[in-house]
Amino acid sequence: MTSNRIDLPQGTLDLLILKTLALGPQHGWAISERIQQVSSDALRVQQGSLYPALHRLERRGWISARWGASENNRRARYYELTRAGRRQLEAEESAWKRLTAAVAQVLETT
């Protein structure tokens, strides 16, 4: 249950959530599963930190929430990316890419 789980810094979790939601509205559990899937199990979101992050993003207006029915007919809270959220996603994505590129460059030259 442990080994190659990477701890996500707070900012990155936000980025991942936003990206996941770019594909369409999801509820919390589904978001967590998706991140896990897509990263080939390397990234496991601490379930405890997912919901605070979601609420925080909701507070900042980048995602909106509504109640809906889940796959097995349970009442679940669905999150959706807002327009502001979409802009934020673009900004953060490009910032991330620039950051990783710069770090990679430094690592290669030494």
Partner 1 sequence: MLSDLLFRLRALLRSKAVEAELDEELRCHIDLQADEYMNSGLPREEAYRRARLLFGGLDKTKEQCRDARGLRLFESLARDVRYGYRMLRKSPAFTAVSLLTLAIGIGANSAIFSAVNALLINPYRFPESHRIVRVDARHISGKNQGAGYRDYLDWRQQNNVFEEMAIVPWTGTYTLTGQGEPQRVVGGETTHGFLRVLGIQPMLGRFFTEEEDRPGAPSLAVLSYAAWQTRFGGSPDVLGRQLMLNSVSYTIIGVLPRGFAFPGVQTCEFFTALCENSSNNRFQHQYDVLARLKRGASVERAQAEMTTIARRLEQEYPETNKGWDIILTPIHSAITQETKTEVLILFSTVIFVLLLACANLAGLQLARASSRAREMAIRASLGASRGRIVCQMLTESLLVAVSGGILGLAFAQWLMEALRLAAPEELALDATMHLDSAVLLFSVAASILTGILFGLAPALYAAGSDLNSVIKGDAGFGSSAPAHVRLRSFLVAGQVALSLVLLVGAGLMVKDLLVVLRLQTGLRTDHVLTFALAPPQAKYASPQRQAAFYHDLMERLRSAPGFDAAALVDTLPMTGGMTGGGFQVEGRPKAADWVDTLVQYNGSTPGFFRTLGIPLLRGRDFDDRDEASSAPVAIINDALARQFFPNEDPVGRKYRDDYDGKWRTIVGIVGSYKSQQPMRPPMPAVFRPLAQTGLRWEWVTARTNGDPEKLAGLVRAIVRAIDPDVPVLQLRTMRQVVSDSLSQSSLMTRYLVGFASFALLLAAIGIYGIAAYSVRQRLREIGIRAALGASYGSLLGSVLGKGVRLSIIGVIVGIPTALAVSGMLASVLYGISPLDTAVFVAVPAILILVALAASYLPARQAARVDPMVALRYE
Binding site for partner 1 (CB under 8 A): 27-30, 46-49, 51-53, 55-56, 58-61, 70, 72, 74-77
In the complex with partner 1, the residue whose CB is nearer, 75 or 110, is 75
In the complex with partner 1, the residue whose CB is nearer, 3 or 110, is 3
In the complex with partner 1, the residue whose CB is nearer, 39 or 105, is 39
In the complex with partner 1, the residue whose CB is nearer, 38 or 65, is 65
- Minimum CB separation of residue 77 from partner 1 in Å reads 5
Q: Which of 25, 15, 28, 27 is nearest to 89 (CA)?
A: 15
- Minimum CB separation of residue 52 from partner 1 in Å reads 4
Helix (H, G, I), strand (E, B) or coil at 79: strand
- Minimum CB separation of residue 109 from partner 1 in Å reads 40
Q: Give 73-82 contacts, CB < 8 A, sequence gap 24+.
A: 76/27, 76/28, 76/29, 77/27, 77/28, 78/25, 78/26, 78/27, 79/21, 79/25, 79/26, 79/27, 79/28, 79/31, 79/54, 80/21, 80/25, 81/18, 81/21, 81/22
- Minimum CB separation of residue 20 from partner 1 in Å reads 15
